[in-house]
């Protein structure tokens, strides 16, 4: 099969992008700016990903599009009381969220993976079966064995995607983590991958998509199974999609 051009590849990746605004100040103006960008000349992003209190704003602005409204719960620590998470899920559902990104308790996870399975199941049920992406914060885990363990536990609980990072700790997505999560998905026989945290350039995004495509097949690079969560990637994808040069700095893993 002929390789797609970079411009074609960038357009495909725009369709797999979870365009993210999770700044600590929770600014509504930043969400409005994000919403302006979600429908590009090269297609729509897969989802916007925002704090629960901005879900309704996004659902209203994106009505009539096919863009998912993803929100985060128990973010970014993964250790808050269940009552708080339940409140966030309620806010998300009332506002019109269509996907839930939950942080698992990655600190306790390696010793107690069953707790992760249970927590994911609980969120999935409370969210009425909406797609759930389990954030493992791979940059805080010791090794790829732990990454696979947590990913397997989350998938057993019904997670639809396993996601590398919150973007809030020093180490975000890495090729090593993406590879480990893909192995867990393959072993589970079901599930998607969301690569997130520090993905800023077309070259980085393409490297992750190439890896996933090599391991899972070309058809797998679709928003149903492959997402990139990023706050600062879209500009570079658009530059490449329109046939220009990259302006972004590569992560250089």
Give the residue numbers marked as catalytic.
101, 163, 194
Query: At its nearest, how many Å lie between ligand G3H and the CB of residue 111?
Result: 25
- Decide: 196 and 228 in contact? Cβ < 8 Å: yes
Residue 78 engages ligand G3H in binding (rule: CB under 6 A): no
Tell me how crowded residue 77 is: count the other CB atoms within 10 A of its CB: 13
Residue 167 engages ligand G3H in binding (rule: CB under 6 A): yes
Rounded to whole angstroms, the Cα distance separating 88 from 70 reads 12
Query: At its nearest, how many Å lie between ligand G3H and the CB of residue 204?
Result: 10
The number of residues that bind ligand G3H (CB under 6 A) is 14
Torsion-angle region of 108 (φ positive above 0: left; ψ -120 to 50: alpha; else: beta):
alpha
Query: At its nearest, how many Å lie between ligand G3H and the CB of residue 23?
Result: 9
Residue 223 engages ligand G3H in binding (rule: CB under 6 A): no
Query: At its nearest, how many Å lie between ligand G3H and the CB of residue 124?
Result: 19
Rounded to whole angstroms, the Cα distance separating 193 from 210 reads 13
Residue nearer to ligand G3H on the CB measure, 191 or 197: 197
- Decide: 236 and 202 in contact? Cβ < 8 Å: yes
Q: What is the DSSP string of 27-43?
A: -HHHHHHHHHHSEETTE
Query: At its nearest, how many Å lie between ligand G3H and the CB of residue 39?
Result: 20
Residue 109 engages ligand G3H in binding (rule: CB under 6 A): no
Residue 22 engages ligand G3H in binding (rule: CB under 6 A): yes
Residue nearer to ligand G3H on the CB measure, 5 or 247: 247
* Terminal CA-CA length for the chain: 28
Residue 23 engages ligand G3H in binding (rule: CB under 6 A): no
Torsion-angle region of 133 (φ positive above 0: left; ψ -120 to 50: alpha; else: beta):
beta
Query: Coil, strand, or helix at residue 80?
Result: coil
Residue 139 engages ligand G3H in binding (rule: CB under 6 A): no
Residue nearer to ligand G3H on the CB measure, 28 or 169: 169
What residues make contact with ligand G3H under the rule CB under 6 A?
20, 22, 49, 166-167, 172, 196-199, 229-232
């Amino acid at each position: 099969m002929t390789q797609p051009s970079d411009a074609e590849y960038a357009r495909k990746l725009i369709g797999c992008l979870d365009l993210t605004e999770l700044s600590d100040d929770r600014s509504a103006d930043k969400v409005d700016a994000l919403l302006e960008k979600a429908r590009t000349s090269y297609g729509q992003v897969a989802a916007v990903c925002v704090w629960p209190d901005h879900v309704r704003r996004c659902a209203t602005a994106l009505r009539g599009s096919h863009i998912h409204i993803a929100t985060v719960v128990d973010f970014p620590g993964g250790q808050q009381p269940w009552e708080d998470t339940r409140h966030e899920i309620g806010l998300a559902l009332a506002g019109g969220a269509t996907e839930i990104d939950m942080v698992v308790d990655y600190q306790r996870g390696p010793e107690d993976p069953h707790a992760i399975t249970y927590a994911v199941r609980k969120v999935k049920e409370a969210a009425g079966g909406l797609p759930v992406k389990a954030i493992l914060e791979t940059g805080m885990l010791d090794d790829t064995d732990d990454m696979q363990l947590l990913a397997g536990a989350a998938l057993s609980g019904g997670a639809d995607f396993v996601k590398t990072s919150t973007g809030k700790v020093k180490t975000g997505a890495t090729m090593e983590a993406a590879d480990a999560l893909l192995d867990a998905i393959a072993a589970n026989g079901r599930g998607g991958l969301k690569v997130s945290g520090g993905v800023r350039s077309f070259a980085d995004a393409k490297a992750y998509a190439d890896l996933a495509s090599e391991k899972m097949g070309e058809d797998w690079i679709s928003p149903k199974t492959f997402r990139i969560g990023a706050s600062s990637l879209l500009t570079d994808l658009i530059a490449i999609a329109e046939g220009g040069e990259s302006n972004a700095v590569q992560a250089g893993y």
